[in-house]
Amino acid sequence: MNFSDIFKSSFLENVASISVLDMFLTLALSFGIGLFIFLVYKKTYQGVMYSASFGTTLIALTMITASVILAVTSNVVLSLGMVGALSLVRFRTAIKEPLDIAFLFWSVGAGIILAAGMIPLAVFSSVVIGLILLIFVNRKSHTHPYMVVLNCVNHDVEVKAREFLIKSVTRCTVKSKSAVKGAIEMNIEVRLKDDDTDFINILSEIPGVNSAVIVSYNGDYMG
């Protein structure tokens, strides 16, 4: 082996297997699509507290996935090693919002499609998915549920308060009820009429009603 044979290794040959133009286009397009995914996520987020770091992660995830797939498609041996390396990775971060899973898969899928050379499909599918999410997630529902937390002193007051609620809202369903000596507390799911919450003021003034609270409800938390 002479001095020139040292530089004729497979490693150095793989350096030129991907052109600079392909790398630049892949990173630029993945950044653009990732930024679009981030903007859609920001517009459609409906959780308790918005996380800017998760939005930035969507951009980075799209670019990282595109870079990895671009490298894998250029070398079969590398693809086998990448499968083994990624099988050792374990993610422990809990996903609190179900819609966040869709955004994660969207970022990974867009990166894979883009690095595979299907640029029109990556762009078109991302635009369509983004428009669908913007339309359906931000659509206002006229039957948005609320929870009324009612605290009263006895059964007679409870009956009177429930009768008032039935007349004031379009739907009234008792979700839970607890009773102790001298106090009854109920959680009641209601559907409002034209988002009018003035009835809660009148409800709290009924004799025997200690307190009446109304909060937004999505099935997982109240706030």
Give the tens place of pLDDT for each residue, 104-134.
899 989 988 888 888 899 899 999 999 998 8
pLDDT band, residue 36 (cuts 50/70/90): very high
Which pTM value belongs to this model? 0.63
d(CA 200, CA 217): 16
Range of weakest confidence among 41-45, 53-57, 91-95: 91-95
pLDDT at position 167, please?
Answer: 86
pLDDT at position 129, please?
Answer: 92
DSSP state of 130: H
Q: Is the pLDDT of residue 31 over 50?
A: yes
Considering only residues 12 and 75, tell me which one the structure prediction assigns the higher pLDDT: 75
- Indicate the CATH number of 145-216 among 3.20.20.70, 3.30.1330.90, 3.40.50.300, 3.30.70.260: 3.30.70.260
Q: Which residues pair with 184 in a beta bridge?
A: 152, 179
CA angle 117, 123, 125 (to 5 degrees): 105
Q: Is the pLDDT of residue 10 over 80?
A: no
* Rounded mean pLDDT, 82-89: 56
* CATH 3.30.70.260 domain extents, the chain: 145-216
Q: Is the pLDDT of residue 223 over 80?
A: no
Give the tens place of pLDDT for each residue, 145-162.
888 888 898 888 888 888
The share of the chain scoring above pLDDT 90, in percent, equals 14
DSSP letters, 11-43, are: HHHHHTSS-HHHHHHHHHHHHHHHHHHHHHHHH
Q: Is the pLDDT of residue 82 over 90?
A: no
The H-or-E segment that residue 176 falls in is strand 171-180
